[in-house]
Amino acid sequence: MKRFALIGRHLQHSYSQRWFEELFARLGLEDHSYELKEMPTLDGLREWVQTEHISGFNVTVPYKQEIIPHLDAMDETATAIGAVNCVTVERVSKLQSDQVSESLSHSAIRLVGHNTDAPAFRDTLSSFITHHSSLITQSYILGTGGAARAVAYALGQLGIPYTFVSRHPEKWAVASNQWSVIGYNQLFTSHLSPFTLIVNATPVGMYPAVDKTPLDLTNFHFSLFTFHFYDLIYNPSPTLLMREAAACGAQVKDGLEMLHCQAELSWELFRSTTNFS
């Protein structure tokens, strides 16, 4: 049996298990399973992977950055972003244990971090703003966590300038002075261009807290602008933020297509991983 999983702290919102189970059914992989594993901390992560014979797993909030010290390596994209949402597991035989570090030889596994959020966001964003992609002159990323960093990396690849929006901009700007950071109260008081993209990379508004929104759009109207709101949340859809933005005249998109895209990329990594027995 090949076992895969999603790890996080609260996973009631997740559609990942459904997506992978449908994939395995289509491919006739009856010896494959995917589970949701809620973890209050990452203590014992390596032991869980080894004893439960996990072949690969995805990572969601709040562990996309916290997991890094628990890994043995990261690919180039994950390293550049500083966040991981996919981990492949390589199993090392006793004969090969002398070729790996002492810390690995006792555990017989090698955990490698990847980031499939960034390419998934990039590819799905391109279809969302296809008619205005060359006109987007600025973007704002709500949040500063692992998902927000993946979004920033993708926007950089597309040549779209971005600014992070944080509830504690002073604190975050000091720690990450290479990025532009503003507070939520500055977002609509700053100069907004006619073509602006706003990405919600926070969990605010996610099930079960469906009556929450990261932005107060009261008395704001986007009719004179071409605003695009991309909310990475997919449960519920539309979110309160999406409904309010659409009512103000903005174009909106949820995160379901991105979920499917990053899952497909994760599966490619999982199935291409060489497991040594």
Active-site annotation, residues? 64
Tell the burial category of 127 from Cβ atoms under 10 Å away from its Cβ (0-12, 13-18, 19+): exposed
The Cα 270–Cα 3 span in angstroms is: 11
DSSP sequence for 179-192: S-EEEGGGTTTSPP
Q: Quick one: DSSP state of residue 106? A: T
* φ, ψ of residue 198 in degrees (nearest 5): -120, 125
Rounded to whole angstroms, what are the CA distances from 124 to 129, 161, 221, 257? Answer: 9, 18, 26, 7
How far is the CA of 77 from the CAs of 29, 84, 116, 204, in angstroms? 29, 9, 9, 26
Judged on CB neighbours under 10 Å (0-12, 13-18, 19+), 72 is middle
Q: Which two tokens stand for residue 23?
A: 């994939």
Closest CA to 87 of 123, 136, 48: 48
By CB atoms closer than 10 A (0-12, 13-18, 19+), residue 55 is buried
201-223: b (≥16 Cβ within 10 Å) or e:
bbbbbbbeeeeebbbebeeeebe
Please state the length of the chain: 277
